[in-house]
């Protein structure tokens, strides 16, 4: 098997055993990119020589940390000191920050090779779409705004990539691209040097190809309790499945993913019960929208003044408050989410994990859309950790995942549960590699 097809954890084990070098791994990823990027278009910047030089340097050194020698793609709303940072904005082409975003610095320090910058919706907010396509069908979106990151990890071009989530920009692309993702609890990963939309929503996460991969990232970020993961058994585990108040928007793909996951979990001996959230959780979608536009208006004000008519119309509309945000509605949205956050923690604490849809279904056709975030926005607003796991293939042959959700700041415990359940829920891992190795 070409090294680019390994999971990060497998590659790390191979390197540790002396059977693989970082340089070989990186060269394999670069070859895959070269072969596939004309179609998948995941990257805005890859510097082949610079990537190989980083890998060679790491091959000479003792291990720097859990990501030593492993490649990381960086969503292009994150500052990088050695690569351009454009936010996929026409106005910022060639922009060169003079320091790394904190999250980039942290994975570099843990030994990662920064492979390049991945395409994104402009400023990761409702505007110019990434050029990236879904690795399973180029006529379909990989989702967004973390479009290139999701597509690159899904297409076996890179083991890790950063995404961010303000509505559903991180977990939904994981579902669409057949990959794993963690959106950590709000506040556990620094957003310094990441272009902001909303202080209360924006969350940095990472993609991988197994829960073990996600754990390697969590070790680099030192998420609380990650050093002492207990390994629970699926048998007897209590899982609450939560269709959310937005289940009427579920398509065949989400229904299949949820039903299959529930069935597989029960077959593995887990106790699976339905969670019905209190009725006022149904107002979280509107609260989320109000906060995203209210905070987005502030966040984009400077870009609006800089770029004037050159700014994307949707971003201009946001700054001009075309969404009718008022102080009263904004405060009400904050207050409702505060209440629900506490209530959901109490509900989730009765279970080992909460199972929820990760997207409304398969990736929609067309690159003008990034899909519907309705099954993601509430968790972003509730600050919960979310772990996406691939579950099924839909009618169109595209992957669809689910997510496991936990109470705030239970990230390590949630990852341990996800690790125990990944082989129960994700039965198509080999199939995905087979399909895409032939692509």
Judged by CB under 8 A, the number of residues near its own copies is 48
169 flagged as catalytic? yes
Q: Going residue by residue from 369 to 408, which x/- string records binding to its own copies, judged by CB under 8 A?
A: ---------------------------------------x
List the catalytic residue out of 75, 129, 255, 256: 75
When the beta carbons of 102 and 429 are compared against its own copies, the nearer one is 102
User: ∠ CA 75-78-79 to the nearest 5 degrees?
Assistant: 135
Smallest gap from Cβ 92 to its own copies, in A, equals 8
Q: How far apart are CA 434 and CA 290, in angstroms?
A: 43
Smallest gap from Cβ 227 to its own copies, in A, equals 13
- Using CB under 8 A as the binding rule, the residues of this chain from 189 to 218 that contact its own copies are 189-192, 195-196, 199-200
The reply on whether position 432 binds its own copies by CB under 8 A is: no
The residue within the footprint of its own copies, chosen from 338, 366, 395, 397 (CB under 8 A), is 338
Structure tokens at 319: 């700054």
When the beta carbons of 27 and 307 are compared against its own copies, the nearer one is 307
Q: Which residue has 């973390």 as its token pair?
A: 146
The reply on whether position 122 binds its own copies by CB under 8 A is: no
145 flagged as catalytic? yes
Q: Phi and psi of 405, rounded to 5°?
A: -125, 145
Q: How many CB atoms lie within 10 A of CB 57?
A: 13
Q: Which residue has 């509505």 as its token pair?
A: 167
Q: Tell me how far apart the terminal alpha carbons of the chain are, to the nearest angstrom.
A: 15
Q: How far apart are CA 416 and CA 414, in angstroms?
A: 5
What are the b/e assignments for 175-195, b being 16+ CB within 10 Å? bbbbbbbbbbbbebbebebbb
The reply on whether position 343 binds its own copies by CB under 8 A is: no
149 flagged as catalytic? no
The reply on whether position 117 binds its own copies by CB under 8 A is: no
List the catalytic residue out of 169, 175, 185, 410: 169
Contacts of 61 (CB under 8 A, 6+ apart): none
Q: How far apart are CA 340 and CA 332, in angstroms?
A: 12
- Using CB under 8 A as the binding rule, the residues of this chain from 293 to 322 that contact its own copies are 294-295, 298-299, 301-302, 305-306
When the beta carbons of 139 and 339 are compared against its own copies, the nearer one is 339
Eight-class DSSP state of 129: P
Q: Going residue by residue from 66 to 105, which x/- string records binding to its own copies, judged by CB under 8 A?
A: -----------------------------xxxxxx-xx-x
Closest by CA to 402, choosing from 378, 418, 382, 420, is 418
Angle, helix 8-16 to helix 211-220, in steps of 10 degrees: 70
Question: To which H or E segment does residue 86 belong?
Answer: none
Residues of this chain that interact with its own copies (CB under 8 A) are: 95-100, 102-103, 105-106, 109, 186-192, 195-196, 199-200, 221-222, 224-225, 294-295, 298-299, 301-302, 305-306, 326-327, 330-331, 334-335, 338-339, 341-342, 345, 408-410
Residues with catalytic annotation?
75, 145, 169
């Amino acid at each position: 098997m070409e090294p680019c097809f390994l999971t990060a954890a497998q590659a790390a084990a191979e390197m540790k055993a002396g059977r693989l070098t970082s340089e070989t791994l990186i060269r394999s990823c670069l070859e895959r990119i070269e072969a596939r990027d004309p179609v998948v278009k995941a990257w805005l910047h890859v510097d082949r020589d610079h990537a190989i030089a980083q890998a060679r340097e790491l091959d000479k050194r003792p291990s720097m940390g859990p990501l030593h020698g492993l490649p990381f793609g960086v969503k292009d709303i994150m500052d990088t000191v050695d690569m351009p940072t454009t936010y996929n904005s026409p106005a910022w082409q060639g922009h060169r920050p003079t320091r790394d975003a904190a999250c980039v610095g942290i994975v570099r320090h843990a030994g990662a090779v920064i492979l390049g910058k991945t395409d994104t919706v402009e400023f990761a907010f409702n505007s110019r779409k990434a050029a990236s396509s879904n690795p399973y069908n180029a006529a379909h979106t990989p989702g967004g705004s973390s479009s290139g990151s999701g597509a690159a990890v899904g297409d076996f071009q890179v083991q890790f990539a950063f995404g961010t989530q303000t509505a559903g920009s991180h977990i939904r692309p994981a579902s669409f691209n057949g990959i794993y993702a963690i959106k950590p609890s709000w506040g556990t990963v620094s957003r310094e040097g990441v272009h902001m939309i909303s202080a209360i929503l924006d969350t940095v996460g990472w993609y991988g190809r197994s829960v073990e991969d996600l754990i390697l990232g969590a070790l680099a970020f030192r998420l609380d309790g990650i050093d002492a993961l207990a390994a629970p058994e699926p048998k007897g585990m209590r899982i609450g499945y939560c269709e959310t108040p937005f289940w009427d928007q579920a398509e065949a793909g989400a229904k299949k993913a949820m039903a299959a996951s529930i069935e597989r979990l029960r077959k593995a001996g887990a106790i699976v019960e339905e969670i019905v959230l209190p009725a006022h959780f149904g107002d979280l979608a509107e609260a989320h929208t109000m906060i995203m536009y209210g905070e987005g208006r502030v966040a984009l004000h400077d870009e609006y003044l800089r770029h004037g008519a050159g700014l994307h119309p949707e971003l201009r509309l946001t700054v001009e408050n075309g969404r009718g945000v008022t102080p009263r509605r904004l405060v009400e949205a904050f207050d409702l989410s505060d209440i629900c956050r506490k209530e959901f923690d109490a509900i989730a604490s009765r279970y080992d994990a909460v199972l929820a849809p990760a997207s409304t279904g398969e990736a929609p056709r067309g690159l003008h859309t990034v899909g519907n975030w309705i099954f993601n926005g509430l968790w972003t607003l509730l600050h919960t950790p979310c772990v996406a796991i691939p579950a099924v293939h839909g009618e169109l042959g595209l992957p669809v995942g689910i997510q496991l959700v936990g109470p705030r700041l239970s990230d390590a415990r949630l990852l341990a549960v996800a690790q125990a359940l990944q082989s129960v829920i994700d039965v198509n891992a080999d199939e995905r590699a087979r399909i895409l190795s032939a692509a």
